[in-house]
Amino acid sequence: MPTLHFKGKSFVENHHLTVPYHQLIPDEAASLTDKISLNDNLIIHGDNLKALKALLPNYQGKVKCIYIDPPYNTGSQEEAWRYNDNVNSPMIQDWLNQNKPIDQEDLTRHDKWLCMMMPRLTLLRELLRDDGVIFISIDDNEVHHLRMLMDEIFGDNNFLALLIRQTKSGGGSAAESFAVEHDYLLVYARNKEMSPKLYISYSHKYLERYKEEDSEGKFYWDTLQRSYTQTRPYPITAPDGQQLEGSWFVGQDTFEAMVERGDIRFRKKRDDSWSVQFKQRLPSGKKIRSILQDKEFQSGQSDLSDLGLAGAIPYPKPVALIKAIAEATLNNDDIILDSFAGSGTTAHAVLALNAQDDGNRRFILIEMEDYADSLTAERVRRVIQGVPDANDETLQAGLPGTLSFFNLGETIDIEAVFSGDPALMPTYADLARYLFYTSTGEEFVPENLDEANAYIGESQRYHVYLFYQPDVKYLQNTALTLDMIRDLPMIGGKERLVFAPMHYVDSEYLHQHKVRFVRLPFEIYRYLSN
């Protein structure tokens, strides 16, 4: 497979591994829920690369759909460029400083854009389920580079589609050569063999024709005879014995099977000729068209205006577009992630879809700009609480839903455990989440946390315990003893993985009692069986 080469690639292709884990700090004032939780609908304010890494302990391999709308890299001074990677290399730092991404004459702005995207796409892939799908909005400036980058990260065999979206109609008098009125949606699967068929619901107008119903579902009677090419000519015997010659919609074997099932009927016309009809059944779903021409897919400004947020952000994506993506990919309890959240269209779309079919889908949004609370979260709060003068009647009373808002906090620095400064020490829950994920590679389940008994969860191989408090005196005076080991439950015969500052027990005793001791602070290892 051809590979994409760009300046700075060698410095960023493994950069996601060097990004430290950060704490996620709940913000009650910005939230709209009785209990803030990482298992709720989420908006995270902070650098989206760091936030994606912070989500791994809870959400690795759990996101069903990803939609992102990254900077198009148009070269315009009007396009904010906030997504600079803090790559840990003096060489790449010098290069980034010397090559400004918005200089029209500097072609290395494409390299810079790719440097920004590569580690983020790599982490997004880690968060995606095996049957998950990612949609990326993009335009002509980077679509060719993005597809090659996606081929490299996701595999060219997992390419699903390049959709063309009409963004406007009319105008174009100011265009230099062509009046561009489209952008794209690039679609890849995590694993194409496991990805679901992407269907959306039919319009009410389309469904009106399917008025009949039997044990197999809804249908209408359609004529079997066709005049266009690729039809099948063969004689059909009418009820009066007349031989009907024609070109038919299905082959003769299929026709005979349909007769056996009762899916064929004959009707006399006014001229005493026969009409042969078959049951045209309602398909299981409407496929997304490769050219998105619906006017409702063009602009999201009216959606914002209806919420009293007109003009809050340029070029917001329409709710109808993201709602179609969510409907096609998400089942009732699935999760969608948007790490370039902007005005919060993805959250609005999920809440609207849930209200429509009483679903329980969840969203995770990441926004690094200062408007994460004042716009992104504010939009979600208005959608939930309602806007009495909204044109959309469903928004007047509000849509069911909750919101937990988090700010990206400081790095979870394991060495800070012994720093002596409580302000730098992670909380028990944050350290537990970090240690469980990094030592087992499995999902941390907050509900299993039992701090009183030092229990933080169960992996396939271990029951995991943590003796820790963000208190230097506790850490200086806490050690694993014989009595503490005896008090640890032996559940299902699994080995116990125990984190503690020190121990007063010899290695042979630990081995006999199926205890693997790991000292705090420690170098991270994954105790995974091959």
Map out the domains of the chain as residue ranges: 17-78+86-201+287-408, 206-281, 414-519
Burial 77-109 (b: 16+ CB within 10 A, else e): eeeeeebebebeeeebeebbeebebbeeeeebb
Identify the three-state secondary structure at position 338: strand
Tokens of 342: 């902007």
Which fold is adopted by the domain 17-78+86-201+287-408?
A: Rossmann fold (3.40.50)
Q: Show pLDDT as tens, one digit a residue, over the chain (530 residues).
A: 778 888 878 778 888 877 888 888 889 999 999 988 888 999 999 999 999 999 988 898 999 999 999 988 876 655 555 555 444 455 555 655 655 544 444 447 788 889 889 999 999 999 999 999 999 999 998 999 999 999 999 999 999 999 999 998 776 666 677 888 899 999 999 999 988 778 877 777 788 899 999 988 899 999 998 766 556 788 999 999 999 988 888 888 999 999 999 999 999 988 888 999 999 998 877 788 889 888 888 889 999 999 999 888 888 999 999 999 999 999 999 999 999 999 999 999 999 999 999 999 999 999 999 999 999 999 999 999 999 999 888 899 999 999 999 999 888 766 665 566 677 778 898 889 888 877 777 778 888 999 999 999 998 889 999 999 888 788 888 889 998 988 888 777 789 999 998 888 888 888 888 999 888 754 333 333 33
Alpha-carbon distance 520 to 414, whole Å? 8
The DSSP output letter for 389 is T
Give the C-alpha separation, 434 to 179, whole Å. 51
- At 256, which helix (H) or strand (E)? helix 252-261
E strand or H helix at 462: strand 462-466
Token pair recorded at residue 121: 């796409």
